[in-house]
Amino acid sequence: MDFFRFLKDNIVCLDGGMGTLLQSRGLKPGEHPEKWNITHPDIITEIHKSYYDAGSNVVSTNTFGANILKFSEEELDSIIKAAVSNARSAARCSVSQKEKFVALDIGPSGKLLKPLGDLDFEDAVSVFAKTVKLGVKYGVDLIIIETMNDSYETKAALLAAKENSELPVIVSNAYGEDGKLMTGADPMAMVALLEGMGADAIGANCSLGPKQLRGVALSLIENASVPVVLKPNAGLPKVVEGKTVFDITPDEFSDEVADLVKSGVRVMGGCCGTTPEYIKLLNEKTEGFTPVPLTDKNLTVVSSYSHAVKFGDSPILIGERINPTGKKRFKAALLENDMDYILNEGVNQQEKGVHVLDVNVGLPEIDEAEVLKKAVCELQTVTDLPLQIDTADAVAMEGALRRYNGKAMINSVNGKSESMDKVFPLVKKYGGLVVALTLDESGIPSTSEGRLAIARKILDRAAEYGISKKDIIFDPLALTVSADNKAASETADAVRRIKNELGCHTSLGVSNVSFGLPNRDAINSVFFAMCLNSGLSAAIMNPYSSEMMKTYYAFRALNGLDENCADYIAKADSFAVGVILPAPGGERSSEEYGSELKKAVIKGFKERASEITRDMLCNTDPLEIVNDEIIPALNTVGKGFEEKKVYLPQLLMSAEAAKCAFEEVKAFMAGGQKASNRGSFVLATVYGDIHDIGKNIVKLLLENYGFNVIDLGKDVPPTAIADKVLETKAPMVGLSALMTTTVPAMEETIKLLREKAPFCKIIVGGAVLTRDYAEKIGADGYAKDAMDGVRFAESVVGK
Amino acid sequence: MSVILTESVILPDFSRKEILRYAGCLNTSESIDALLDKCIERSRSCFAGKVCFGVFDLKIIGNVCDLGGMKIESADLSKNLADCDKAVIFGATVGVGIDRLIMKYSRIAPSEAVMYQAIGAERIESLCDAFCRKIGEEYGGTLKPRFSPGYGDLPLAVQRDIFSLLDCKKIGLSLNESLLMSPTKSVTAFVGIHK
């Protein structure tokens, strides 16, 4: 029987522990168990056979760590070949009458993926792909990806399995005592990610015993529409007389697991510390159980690396601010490759309370695919909110979806055939909740009836691609009410009908309704309320608009979605108009600092610095503010730092406050007069080095002092640095290295720069460097700290 | 043959003094205190102390330490472990949570990133201290100071041996190509147990 069919109608029994059994037969710490497939085939086969005899339907090959990072191509091939052959002979020799399958076992790579570790996502996919291809070559029946403690690595492994085989794939994660993966995902987030990508069964294994995994198992059962897998350890390990033993008996173990099978677990087994005895008892205790039928939970969800966001209960706010349309400062940031500006927009919107961030970087002048991928990856280093990938470019969409750590929201598809044929295959492959606009080749119908007809067409086509309606969220389109006085009511009506007649969720870009009208916030927020009342599930909106936020919190309070009106009350203060923040702390009056702005910068008050600058810009020349206020204040702090009266955190707080002031100046001048530029400075952490905090500190200070910093990030190859210096003709380059092991990469970069760009001056810094060392590797300067970097730059371009 | 164990360790309270020392602040001020408070509150729940370790019989011949069959040549390690007949080899980490905070704030507010670096350093050190205290109690001996790859003449490359011996991935610890570890707030070390 094929495994798909067997899984559909039966309770499936996997095997139990392998590693612990091998240790008891002499496997030493540090020895590769996978090699035993070749050196001790008799032992491996015998263990597999004892599991089949105990009633296992599926035995996993002894290939947990069999990957190309640990073994050569040749070794890997022979290990997997032997492993599959051992499992096959065990199946043949077993006396059990049950259905028997052989699964290719895939464990974690042993590396942590970027940005937390140093393994690139695509490299991880390639590592797993090698193992998958060999499993397919030697004829396994299914693939089990297990013990994964990182959602991103899990995604890489599942993608590799899907791209290189047609086999059923079971995916099981190692959850900690907090009910989360090591890198943060909870069970609901994993269900969203894995179901979206087409895993055939989803579960939990290893790390804990069945008691501790109970909560995780129940959460998986509640949220998953595919079969749930549970494969716990035999409790927790302890040492008795120099041996590792696990603390629960086969009897307790099988009781606990059998009870969860009753609650809905469909694929059961054991992990570390379990033996054929555990599996035998588990089989006996579940004998005659009727499998709990699989039901479609019909959840509309998106997820990030930490949590899922569910549509349908309380309305979901999607922050619209990461979008260059109509924003000069944002366009300028994109053109200057200023990622920090985008990251700040992400963090600020999260602080305002949005649940999802829309990410749109579409500008004709940039390589959208490259920038979108980068923005998505970098946003995930500063926020744990799910992202909405917003692009009309299918290549950019695929690049971003592939790299995204979670199940993304996708903006958008529409009723045009061309659009559906482009977008739906991506939704199917990578998972996602796709926003479907109710327009097609003949435009946007003016009536709700017309929009509903397009929605039906979209659902039908999605079904042909195997995408169910829970993964489609309709945007019935807000048209401009000043052009058509029925526009708002038709849209609200479409929202209601899509919900009631199609049973689908809706999302709306609200603000278009007020186009061309004065005081747009008033119109937007009332329209938002109308649509919420019609059942709107989500809105793409501006969270900085206090009118919109008021509407949202008031609506929730009035609709019983806010227990004791607690959220409303907590936010009420922030709704008040024109609140002026009192100057926090500080006994000395501003006179002693020279001015209010100087005081704010010196004391490191970010909001104050922004506010005062904004006020000053009404009647003061921007350059005057920079030269007479911000820079002198920074100099005071910088001097204090050099004299060791001010410490690094204080220097940085001042620099951040200054940056806030500069942001106001930049926003004021965007599109017009160019902000002061004292010269370009290319900055990078060298190849192989993933530490960038020092580099980021230098960047902040250089920007404060008016230098145009081109930040290439971390782990940058020498050629990339040289190319950028040539392209920008930058007179200065700063290189950072933290580790002795990456100083050679720094030296190599300097050599290359001397050859290709002899015009530039190079300064180096970082924990392991000294002035002598800097000279030895041929740098022009050495910075012991960030202020040194500034002084160097000033000496190159002249004050 | 020794067994390798993994363990969760409860971390002691934050030491503000140590954190400020790691942050390079010799004196404190109102603004530094406020920053420290904020950073401690934000990071408080992100730490999970985990250790994997084994206790090995130790023989030292010349400059070579033989730890249950793993032979390491290092004059400084031999000196550090002299007079011991057992040694603990361990890997410890406080998890990726603090790395996420450092990563985030190094992009949006480096002053806080510096504080998180310091907090992370204080946490991993206090984890190692707590673990070693416990080992000291269990084995009833006094412990030598921790000795890590990269100290003295003990090459960083010994990390590879430690990782393969201890199976560090079980506590979420991984070794990068550069031989540094992820999560960054992690330690591997040898600790001699006095006879």
What interface predicted TM-score (ipTM) does this complex get? 0.93
Nearest CA in chain A to B150: A740
Tallying the residues shown for chain A, one arrives at 799
Nearest CA in chain B to A693: B106
> CA-to-CA distance for A130 and A152, rounded, in angstroms?
18
CB contact under 8 A, A118 and B161: no
* Interface probe, candidates B107, B116, B135, B173, chain A, greatest A C-beta count within 10 A: B107
Contact residues for A530 (Cβ-Cβ < 8 A; gap 6+): A488, A489, A492
Within 8 A of A743 by CB-CB distance, chain B residues are: none
Pick from A343, A334, A321, A326: which is nearest to A371 by CA? A334
Assigned fold of A3-286: TIM Barrel (3.20.20)
* Interface probe, candidates B100, B156, B161, B164, chain A, greatest A C-beta count within 10 A: B100
Instruction: Name the residue range of residue B186's domain.
Output: 5-194
**CATH number of the domain enclosing B96:** 3.40.109.40
Within 8 A of B25 by CB-CB distance, chain A residues are: 647-649
H-helix or E-strand spanning residue A74:
helix A73-93
Secondary structure of residue A232 in the 3-state scheme: coil
Total domains, chain B: 1
CB contact under 8 A, B54 and A149: no
CATH superfamily of A301-575: Dihydropteroate synthase-like (3.20.20.20)
Using 70 as the pLDDT threshold, list the residues of chain A that sit under it: 576-591, 670-676, 799
CB contact under 8 A, B100 and A28: no
DSSP B169-190: GGGT-EE-TTS-EESSSEEEEE
Q: In Å, how far are A239, A713, B85, B137, B193 from B142, measured between CA atoms?
A: 21, 46, 12, 9, 6
Tokens 């992690």 locate to: B186
Triad A396, A401, A406: Cα angle to 5°: 155
Within 8 A of B95 by CB-CB distance, chain A residues are: 182
CB contact under 8 A, A653 and B31: yes
CB contact under 8 A, B182 and A648: no
Per-residue pLDDT, A674: 53
Domains of chain A, by residue range, sit at 3-286, 301-575, 590-667, 680-797
Instruction: Provide the CA B47 distance to its chain's centre, in angstroms.
Output: 14
CATH topology of A3-286 equal to that of A301-575?
Answer: yes
Query: Greater confidence, A241 or B138?
Result: B138
Q: Which of B3, B69, B108 sits opposite A344 (nearest CB)?
A: B108
**Architecture of the A590-667 domain:** Orthogonal Bundle (1.10)
pTM for this predicted structure? 0.91
Within 8 A of B177 by CB-CB distance, chain A residues are: 118, 688
Per-residue pLDDT, B4: 85
Contact, B187 vs B129, CB < 8 A? no
Q: How many CB atoms lie within 10 A of CB A556?
A: 18
CB contact under 8 A, A693 and B106: yes
Within 8 A of A648 by CB-CB distance, chain B residues are: 23-25, 111, 114
CB contact under 8 A, A652 and B114: yes
A640 is written with which tokens?
Answer: 């204090």
Q: How many CB atoms lie within 10 A of CB B157?
A: 11
Within 8 A of A745 by CB-CB distance, chain B residues are: none
> CA-to-CA distance for A359 and A374, rounded, in angstroms?
11
| pLDDT tens string B154-192 | 999 999 999 989 989 889 999 998 888 999 999 999 999
- Dihedral angle, C-alpha B125, B127, B128, B131, nearest 10 °: 160
Strand A237-240 to A243-246 pairing: antiparallel
- Angle between helix A596-603 and helix A606-617 axes, rounded to 10 deg: 150
| pLDDT tens string A504-550 | 999 999 999 999 999 999 999 999 999 999 999 999 999 999 999 99
> CA-to-CA distance for A631 and A790, rounded, in angstroms?
12
> CA-to-CA distance for A113 and A156, rounded, in angstroms?
10
CATH of domain A680-797: 3.40.50.280
Which amino acid, residue A611?
A: E
Distance from CA of B143 to the nearest CA of A (A): 21
First to last CA, chain A: 79
CB contact under 8 A, A649 and B111: yes
Distance from CA of B137 to the nearest CA of A (A): 16
